[in-house]
A = this chain, B = another copy of it.
Amino acid sequence: MRILVIEDEIKTVQLIKQGLEEQQCEVDVAYDGLMGFQLASRNHYNLIISDIILPGINGLELCKKLRANGISFPILLLTALGTTDDKIIGLDSGADDYLVKPFEFKELMARIRALTRRSIGAIQTANVLKIADLEMDLDTKSVSRAGKEIILTAKEFSLLEYFIRHQGRVISKAELAEKIWDVTFDTGTNVIEVYVNFVRKKIDKDFDTKLLHTQIGMGYVLKMPN
């Protein structure tokens, strides 16, 4: 996701840039209207966020100019001018949305999501759990360690997921029995040992640093060794 921010207040720029980069967006910044226009003409963006009051070309003229040149990226205007007429002028200049300063950052993010939803399947929303070099993707149900793919069965996957979600905490067998096998009573079985063994073979066996450790009499922990 590439976003162009056109704004001359350094503080606002930093706030927006940082927040967007946390969401894995690439952010370009222009500090005046002309520079914004040139960047937008030369590159492809998924969204332009622009202030109205800018040195040189102002945000409204910028919108009109971009639209006149056939540039159709979504544009979000960001400004202190909050009367209804200001908004109307802004929207009719070719902007897609209009947010009045001061705004809450989370509202900005929501409006960005709404504007960019159509172009890409929303902002990167990958659903990944991690510990060390072990990664688990909950959407694709795939697991990898050090980039190497690991195939797990459904039970193995649930078990490992539980460990990753509670990494660093010692999990008793009773807790695993209840959470993964849905039994509260002790059935006198050794399934848990067997499954811990399965998972270890797949995630630890071929690697030097072991992640899944036994605490005799207490349970198991998933963590980096000390």
Binding site for B on A (CB under 8 A): 72, 84-85, 87-88, 91-92, 94-97, 104, 106-107, 109-111, 113-115, 117-118, 139-141, 149, 153-155, 157, 168-170, 215-219, 221, 226
Contact = CB atoms under 8 A, between A and B. Distances in A.
A153 B217 CA distance: 8
Given A118-B72, A215-B141, A217-B153, A92 B106 contact: no
A140 B114 contact: no
Given A139-B170, A216-B154, A87 B107 contact: yes
Nearest to A88: B110
B72 A88 contact: no
B110 A87 contact: yes
A149 B154 CA distance: 36
A104 B91 contact: no
Nearest to A74: B118
Identify whether the interface residues of A are mostly helix, strand, loop, or mixed. mixed
Nearest to A165: B121
A218 B139 contact: no
Nearest to A67: B117
13 contacts: A84-B107, A85-B106, A91-B113, A97-B114, A139-B168, A140-B169, A140-B170, A140-B221, A141-B218, A153-B216, A153-B217, A154-B216, A157-B218
A65 B72 CA distance: 28
A77 to B, nearest CB: 10
A114 B96 contact: yes
